[in-house]
Protein backbone atom coordinates (compact mmCIF):
# COMPACT_ATOMS: atom_id res chain seq x y z
CA UNK A 1 0.00 0.00 0.00
CA UNK A 2 1.40 3.40 -0.95
CA UNK A 3 2.02 6.25 1.49
CA UNK A 4 -0.67 8.27 -0.27
CA UNK A 5 -3.22 5.53 0.40
CA UNK A 6 -2.32 5.28 4.09
CA UNK A 7 -2.80 9.04 4.44
CA UNK A 8 -6.38 8.85 3.19
CA UNK A 9 -9.49 8.00 5.19
CA UNK A 10 -10.74 4.47 4.42
CA UNK A 11 -13.30 4.38 1.57
CA UNK A 12 -15.94 2.95 3.93
CA UNK A 13 -15.56 5.79 6.45
CA UNK A 14 -15.49 8.45 3.73
CA UNK A 15 -18.62 7.03 2.09
CA UNK A 16 -20.46 6.81 5.42
CA UNK A 17 -19.71 10.46 6.33
CA UNK A 18 -20.70 11.57 2.84
CA UNK A 19 -24.00 9.67 3.05
CA UNK A 20 -24.83 11.14 6.48
CA UNK A 21 -24.22 14.70 5.24
CA UNK A 22 -26.16 14.05 2.02
CA UNK A 23 -29.16 12.72 3.94
CA UNK A 24 -29.23 15.73 6.28
CA UNK A 25 -28.91 18.14 3.32
CA UNK A 26 -32.00 16.55 1.75
CA UNK A 27 -33.96 18.09 4.62
CA UNK A 28 -31.87 21.09 5.72
CA UNK A 29 -31.18 23.84 3.15
CA UNK A 30 -27.94 25.82 3.43
CA UNK A 31 -26.25 26.15 6.84
CA UNK A 32 -23.30 24.15 5.46
CA UNK A 33 -20.84 25.70 7.89
CA UNK A 34 -23.12 25.03 10.87
CA UNK A 35 -23.70 21.42 9.79
CA UNK A 36 -19.94 20.95 9.36
CA UNK A 37 -19.36 22.18 12.92
CA UNK A 38 -22.04 19.82 14.27
CA UNK A 39 -20.29 16.91 12.53
CA UNK A 40 -16.92 18.06 13.92
CA UNK A 41 -18.37 18.05 17.44
CA UNK A 42 -19.90 14.62 16.84
CA UNK A 43 -16.61 13.09 15.61
CA UNK A 44 -14.48 14.82 18.27
CA UNK A 45 -17.02 14.03 21.03
CA UNK A 46 -17.40 17.69 21.95
CA UNK A 47 -20.36 19.98 22.67
CA UNK A 48 -21.67 23.01 20.80
CA UNK A 49 -22.93 26.41 21.90
CA UNK A 50 -24.98 27.97 19.10
CA UNK A 51 -26.00 31.62 18.86
CA UNK A 52 -28.60 32.69 16.34
CA UNK A 53 -32.09 34.13 16.03
CA UNK A 54 -35.06 31.72 16.01
CA UNK A 55 -36.08 30.02 12.78
CA UNK A 56 -32.64 29.18 11.34
CA UNK A 57 -33.05 25.36 11.34
CA UNK A 58 -30.91 24.73 14.43
CA UNK A 59 -33.37 22.23 15.91
CA UNK A 60 -34.13 20.69 12.51
CA UNK A 61 -30.43 20.11 11.79
CA UNK A 62 -29.76 18.23 15.04
CA UNK A 63 -33.01 16.26 14.88
CA UNK A 64 -32.35 15.21 11.27
CA UNK A 65 -28.78 14.21 12.10
CA UNK A 66 -29.98 12.04 15.01
CA UNK A 67 -32.37 10.27 12.64
CA UNK A 68 -29.57 9.69 10.12
CA UNK A 69 -27.43 7.92 12.75
CA UNK A 70 -30.40 6.10 14.34
CA UNK A 71 -29.76 7.97 17.57
CA UNK A 72 -32.17 9.32 20.17
CA UNK A 73 -32.95 13.04 20.20
CA UNK A 74 -34.34 15.12 23.06
CA UNK A 75 -35.11 18.83 23.24
CA UNK A 76 -35.36 20.83 26.46
CA UNK A 77 -36.88 24.31 26.42
CA UNK A 78 -35.09 26.18 29.20
CA UNK A 79 -37.35 28.49 31.24
CA UNK A 80 -36.90 30.44 34.51
CA UNK A 81 -39.01 27.92 36.48
CA UNK A 82 -36.98 24.87 35.40
CA UNK A 83 -35.33 22.81 38.18
CA UNK A 84 -32.32 20.43 37.89
CA UNK A 85 -34.55 17.35 38.30
CA UNK A 86 -36.34 18.32 35.08
CA UNK A 87 -33.05 17.71 33.26
CA UNK A 88 -31.34 14.76 34.91
CA UNK A 89 -34.29 12.95 36.50
CA UNK A 90 -35.42 12.17 40.04
CA UNK A 91 -36.56 9.48 42.45
CA UNK A 92 -40.28 8.67 42.41
CA UNK A 93 -42.23 6.75 45.05
CA UNK A 94 -44.20 3.78 43.71
CA UNK A 95 -47.32 3.28 45.83
CA UNK A 96 -47.96 -0.26 44.52
CA UNK A 97 -44.55 -1.64 45.44
CA UNK A 98 -43.75 0.74 48.30
CA UNK A 99 -40.32 1.41 46.78
CA UNK A 100 -38.60 4.38 45.21
CA UNK A 101 -37.76 4.14 41.50
CA UNK A 102 -35.52 6.30 39.35
CA UNK A 103 -37.10 8.31 36.57
CA UNK A 104 -34.37 9.36 34.13
CA UNK A 105 -34.55 12.85 32.59
CA UNK A 106 -34.27 14.00 28.98
CA UNK A 107 -30.45 14.26 29.14
CA UNK A 108 -30.39 10.52 28.42
CA UNK A 109 -30.21 10.90 24.64
CA UNK A 110 -27.54 10.75 21.93
CA UNK A 111 -28.16 14.32 20.79
CA UNK A 112 -29.52 16.77 23.36
CA UNK A 113 -30.75 20.21 22.33
CA UNK A 114 -30.82 22.72 25.21
CA UNK A 115 -32.93 25.49 23.72
CA UNK A 116 -32.33 29.04 25.03
CA UNK A 117 -30.05 27.76 27.79
CA UNK A 118 -29.53 31.27 29.17
CA UNK A 119 -33.21 31.53 30.19
CA UNK A 120 -32.80 29.09 33.10
CA UNK A 121 -31.17 29.99 36.45
CA UNK A 122 -27.55 29.06 37.21
CA UNK A 123 -28.41 25.95 39.28
CA UNK A 124 -30.14 24.41 36.26
CA UNK A 125 -27.34 25.37 33.89
CA UNK A 126 -24.83 23.84 36.32
CA UNK A 127 -26.80 20.59 36.33
CA UNK A 128 -25.44 20.05 32.82
CA UNK A 129 -21.82 20.31 34.01
CA UNK A 130 -21.40 16.73 35.22
CA UNK A 131 -23.18 15.16 32.28
CA UNK A 132 -21.20 17.23 29.73
CA UNK A 133 -17.83 16.39 31.26
CA UNK A 134 -18.30 12.96 32.83
CA UNK A 135 -21.12 11.73 30.56
CA UNK A 136 -23.03 10.54 33.59
CA UNK A 137 -25.49 11.95 36.13
CA UNK A 138 -25.87 11.25 39.82
CA UNK A 139 -29.37 10.81 41.21
CA UNK A 140 -29.73 10.12 44.95
CA UNK A 141 -26.09 9.03 45.16
CA UNK A 142 -26.37 6.60 42.24
CA UNK A 143 -24.52 7.21 38.96
CA UNK A 144 -26.19 6.65 35.60
CA UNK A 145 -24.23 6.79 32.33
CA UNK A 146 -25.74 8.57 29.34
CA UNK A 147 -25.82 6.74 25.97
CA UNK A 148 -22.88 6.99 23.59
CA UNK A 149 -22.37 9.01 21.44
CA UNK A 150 -23.50 12.00 23.48
CA UNK A 151 -23.49 15.59 22.22
CA UNK A 152 -25.08 18.63 23.87
CA UNK A 153 -26.05 21.49 21.59
CA UNK A 154 -27.17 24.57 23.50
CA UNK A 155 -28.72 27.61 21.82
CA UNK A 156 -28.80 31.28 22.80
CA UNK A 157 -30.89 34.08 21.34
CA UNK A 158 -28.64 37.12 20.72
CA UNK A 159 -31.59 39.54 20.47
CA UNK A 160 -33.43 39.24 23.78
CA UNK A 161 -31.32 39.68 26.90
CA UNK A 162 -34.11 40.61 29.34
CA UNK A 163 -34.87 37.81 31.76
CA UNK A 164 -31.74 35.83 30.89
CA UNK A 165 -28.98 34.42 33.08
CA UNK A 166 -25.37 34.53 31.78
CA UNK A 167 -23.78 31.09 31.58
CA UNK A 168 -21.25 30.28 34.33
CA UNK A 169 -17.66 30.43 33.07
CA UNK A 170 -17.07 26.80 34.09
CA UNK A 171 -19.92 25.68 31.86
CA UNK A 172 -19.05 27.89 28.88
CA UNK A 173 -15.55 26.39 28.88
CA UNK A 174 -16.98 22.88 28.51
CA UNK A 175 -18.42 23.72 25.11
CA UNK A 176 -15.93 22.78 22.42
CA UNK A 177 -17.12 25.53 20.07
CA UNK A 178 -19.45 28.49 19.89
CA UNK A 179 -20.99 28.75 16.43
CA UNK A 180 -22.73 31.85 15.09
CA UNK A 181 -25.64 30.98 12.77
CA UNK A 182 -26.66 33.65 10.25
CA UNK A 183 -29.65 34.16 7.96
CA UNK A 184 -29.81 32.13 4.72
CA UNK A 185 -29.19 33.76 1.35
CA UNK A 186 -32.14 34.70 -0.90
CA UNK A 187 -31.50 31.62 -3.07
CA UNK A 188 -31.42 29.32 -0.04
CA UNK A 189 -34.56 30.87 1.41
CA UNK A 190 -36.36 30.32 -1.92
CA UNK A 191 -35.51 26.60 -1.74
CA UNK A 192 -36.57 26.49 1.93
CA UNK A 193 -40.04 27.83 1.07
CA UNK A 194 -40.34 25.41 -1.85
CA UNK A 195 -39.52 22.44 0.38
CA UNK A 196 -41.91 23.51 3.13
CA UNK A 197 -44.89 23.89 0.79
CA UNK A 198 -43.97 20.75 -1.18
CA UNK A 199 -43.88 17.06 -0.31
CA UNK A 200 -41.78 16.51 2.85
CA UNK A 201 -38.52 14.62 2.32
CA UNK A 202 -38.50 11.15 3.88
CA UNK A 203 -35.44 10.49 6.04
CA UNK A 204 -33.52 7.25 5.61
CA UNK A 205 -31.32 6.09 8.52
CA UNK A 206 -27.78 5.79 7.18
CA UNK A 207 -25.62 4.64 10.07
CA UNK A 208 -25.93 3.14 13.52
CA UNK A 209 -24.54 4.56 16.74
CA UNK A 210 -22.03 1.66 16.66
CA UNK A 211 -20.76 2.78 13.24
CA UNK A 212 -20.52 6.34 14.53
CA UNK A 213 -18.45 5.10 17.48
CA UNK A 214 -16.07 3.52 14.94
CA UNK A 215 -15.80 6.87 13.12
CA UNK A 216 -14.98 8.56 16.45
CA UNK A 217 -12.25 5.99 17.11
CA UNK A 218 -10.84 6.56 13.61
CA UNK A 219 -10.87 10.31 14.27
CA UNK A 220 -8.63 9.85 17.31
CA UNK A 221 -6.03 8.15 15.13
CA UNK A 222 -5.68 11.14 12.76
CA UNK A 223 -2.07 12.35 12.86
CA UNK A 224 -1.33 15.85 14.18
CA UNK A 225 2.17 17.22 13.69
CA UNK A 226 3.85 18.54 16.88
CA UNK A 227 4.38 21.89 15.10
CA UNK A 228 0.61 22.17 14.72
CA UNK A 229 0.06 21.38 18.40
CA UNK A 230 2.63 24.05 19.30
CA UNK A 231 0.75 26.54 17.10
CA UNK A 232 -2.48 25.80 19.00
CA UNK A 233 -0.71 26.26 22.36
CA UNK A 234 0.75 29.60 21.22
CA UNK A 235 -2.63 30.91 20.01
CA UNK A 236 -4.23 30.06 23.34
CA UNK A 237 -1.22 31.32 25.31
CA UNK A 238 -1.50 34.69 23.54
CA UNK A 239 -4.97 35.16 25.05
CA UNK A 240 -3.53 34.72 28.57
CA UNK A 241 -0.18 36.51 28.22
CA UNK A 242 -0.46 38.85 25.21
CA UNK A 243 2.68 40.81 26.13
CA UNK A 244 4.86 37.70 25.67
CA UNK A 245 3.73 37.47 22.04
CA UNK A 246 4.23 41.11 21.09
CA UNK A 247 0.62 42.05 21.83
CA UNK A 248 1.20 44.31 24.83
CA UNK A 249 -1.50 46.78 23.71
CA UNK A 250 -4.09 43.99 23.75
CA UNK A 251 -3.58 43.00 27.38
CA UNK A 252 -5.98 45.74 28.51
CA UNK A 253 -8.78 44.21 26.42
CA UNK A 254 -8.69 40.73 27.99
CA UNK A 255 -9.67 40.11 31.61
CA UNK A 256 -9.26 36.33 31.38
CA UNK A 257 -7.87 34.22 28.54
CA UNK A 258 -8.71 30.74 27.31
CA UNK A 259 -7.98 27.61 29.36
CA UNK A 260 -5.98 24.54 28.22
CA UNK A 261 -9.30 23.06 27.11
CA UNK A 262 -9.09 25.47 24.16
CA UNK A 263 -5.77 23.96 22.99
CA UNK A 264 -7.24 20.46 23.28
CA UNK A 265 -10.38 21.49 21.38
CA UNK A 266 -8.31 23.06 18.58
CA UNK A 267 -6.30 19.88 18.06
CA UNK A 268 -9.29 17.53 18.34
CA UNK A 269 -11.36 19.75 16.07
CA UNK A 270 -8.57 19.86 13.47
CA UNK A 271 -8.47 16.06 13.57
CA UNK A 272 -12.20 15.80 12.93
CA UNK A 273 -12.15 18.38 10.13
CA UNK A 274 -9.19 16.63 8.46
CA UNK A 275 -11.09 13.35 8.58
CA UNK A 276 -14.18 14.95 7.06
CA UNK A 277 -11.95 16.25 4.27
CA UNK A 278 -10.70 12.74 3.56
CA UNK A 279 -7.29 12.86 5.24
CA UNK A 280 -5.67 10.95 8.11
CA UNK A 281 -3.37 13.87 8.91
CA UNK A 282 -4.26 17.42 9.94
CA UNK A 283 -3.12 20.51 8.02
CA UNK A 284 -2.80 24.09 9.20
CA UNK A 285 -6.06 25.11 7.46
CA UNK A 286 -7.97 22.46 9.44
CA UNK A 287 -7.01 24.29 12.61
CA UNK A 288 -7.25 27.91 11.42
CA UNK A 289 -10.80 27.28 10.15
CA UNK A 290 -11.87 26.50 13.72
CA UNK A 291 -9.91 29.06 15.76
CA UNK A 292 -12.74 31.61 16.04
CA UNK A 293 -15.34 28.98 16.95
CA UNK A 294 -13.10 27.47 19.64
CA UNK A 295 -11.87 30.71 21.24
CA UNK A 296 -14.63 33.32 20.98
CA UNK A 297 -16.66 32.13 24.00
CA UNK A 298 -13.59 31.53 26.15
CA UNK A 299 -12.33 35.11 26.16
CA UNK A 300 -13.60 37.33 28.97
CA UNK A 301 -13.31 40.87 27.63
CA UNK A 302 -12.60 43.84 29.87
CA UNK A 303 -14.91 46.82 30.24
CA UNK A 304 -12.39 48.82 28.21
CA UNK A 305 -12.76 46.42 25.28
CA UNK A 306 -16.54 46.64 25.41
CA UNK A 307 -16.46 50.45 25.60
CA UNK A 308 -14.20 50.63 22.54
CA UNK A 309 -16.30 48.17 20.54
CA UNK A 310 -13.61 45.48 20.53
CA UNK A 311 -15.17 42.04 20.00
CA UNK A 312 -13.68 38.62 20.72
CA UNK A 313 -13.52 37.85 16.99
CA UNK A 314 -11.53 41.03 16.29
CA UNK A 315 -9.05 40.14 19.03
CA UNK A 316 -8.68 36.61 17.65
CA UNK A 317 -8.02 38.05 14.17
CA UNK A 318 -5.21 40.21 15.54
CA UNK A 319 -3.72 37.31 17.54
CA UNK A 320 -3.72 35.11 14.41
CA UNK A 321 -1.97 37.87 12.44
CA UNK A 322 0.73 38.06 15.11
CA UNK A 323 1.31 34.34 15.77
CA UNK A 324 3.09 32.81 12.79
CA UNK A 325 1.72 29.53 11.48
CA UNK A 326 4.19 26.61 11.22
CA UNK A 327 6.65 27.44 8.45
CA UNK A 328 7.41 23.87 7.44
CA UNK A 329 4.65 21.93 5.71
CA UNK A 330 3.00 19.15 7.68
CA UNK A 331 4.69 16.35 5.78
CA UNK A 332 2.38 13.64 4.47
CA UNK A 333 5.16 11.09 4.64
CA UNK A 334 5.68 11.88 8.33
CA UNK A 335 2.05 11.04 9.00
CA UNK A 336 2.39 7.71 7.28
CA UNK A 337 5.72 6.92 8.99
CA UNK A 338 4.29 7.84 12.39
CA UNK A 339 1.41 5.40 11.99
CA UNK A 340 3.62 2.59 10.66
CA UNK A 341 6.01 3.05 13.60
CA UNK A 342 3.04 2.80 15.97
**Cα atoms in the 13 Å half-sphere on the side-chain side of 187:** 2
Bridge partners, residue 301, by sequence = 254
Q: Is the pLDDT of residue 149 over 80?
A: yes
The model's pLDDT over 162-184, given as tens digits with 9 standing for 90+, comes to 667 888 777 789 999 999 998 88
Q: Is the pLDDT of residue 335 over 50?
A: no
Q: Are 89 and 132 in contact (CB under 8 A)?
A: no
Are residues 207 and 234 located together in one domain of the fold? no
The model's pLDDT over 74-84, given as tens digits with 9 standing for 90+, comes to 999 998 889 88
Domain membership of residue 86 (yes or no) is no
Q: Of 261, 41, 77, whose CA–CA distance to 151 is shortest?
A: 41
- Domain harbouring 9, CATH code: 3.40.50.300
Are residues 245 and 113 located together in one domain of the fold? no
Are residues 174 and 287 located together in one domain of the fold? no
Domain around 236: 221-341
Confidence of residue 329 (pLDDT cuts 50, 70, 90): low
Domain membership of residue 89 (yes or no) is no
The model's pLDDT over 44-87, given as tens digits with 9 standing for 90+, comes to 999 999 988 888 888 888 888 888 888 888 999 998 889 888 99
Using DSSP bridges, classify how beta strands 48-51 and 151-156 pair: parallel, antiparallel or unpaired: parallel
Domain membership of residue 117 (yes or no) is yes
Q: Are 275 and 222 in contact (CB under 8 A)?
A: yes
What does the alpha-carbon distance between residue 159 and residue 16 come to, in Å, rounded to a whole number? 38
Domain membership of residue 59 (yes or no) is yes
What does the alpha-carbon distance between residue 19 and residue 6 come to, in Å, rounded to a whole number? 22
Longest dimension (CA), the chain: 71
Q: 158: which residues sit within 8 A by CB, 6+ positions away? A: 51, 52, 53
Are residues 226 and 206 located together in one domain of the fold? no
Domain count, the chain: 2
DSSP letters spanning 285-316: HHHHTTHHHHHTTT-EE-HHHHHTT--HHHHH
Which of residues 239 and 156 earns the better pLDDT score?
239
Q: Of 173, 92, 91, whose CA–CA distance to 125 is shortest?
A: 173
The model's pLDDT over 212-252, given as tens digits with 9 standing for 90+, comes to 889 999 999 999 999 999 999 999 999 999 888 888 888 88
Domain membership of residue 152 (yes or no) is yes
Are residues 307 and 196 located together in one domain of the fold? no
Amino acid sequence: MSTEDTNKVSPESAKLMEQILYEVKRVVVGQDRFLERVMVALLAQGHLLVEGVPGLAKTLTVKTLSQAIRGSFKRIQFTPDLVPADLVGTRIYNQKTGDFGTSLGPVFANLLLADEINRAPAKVQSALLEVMQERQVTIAGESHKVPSPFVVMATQNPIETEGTYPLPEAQVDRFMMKVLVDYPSDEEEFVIVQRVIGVPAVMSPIASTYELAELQAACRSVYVDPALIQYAVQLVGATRRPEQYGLKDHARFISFGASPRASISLVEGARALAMMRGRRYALIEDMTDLVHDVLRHRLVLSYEALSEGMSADKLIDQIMQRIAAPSKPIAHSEAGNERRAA
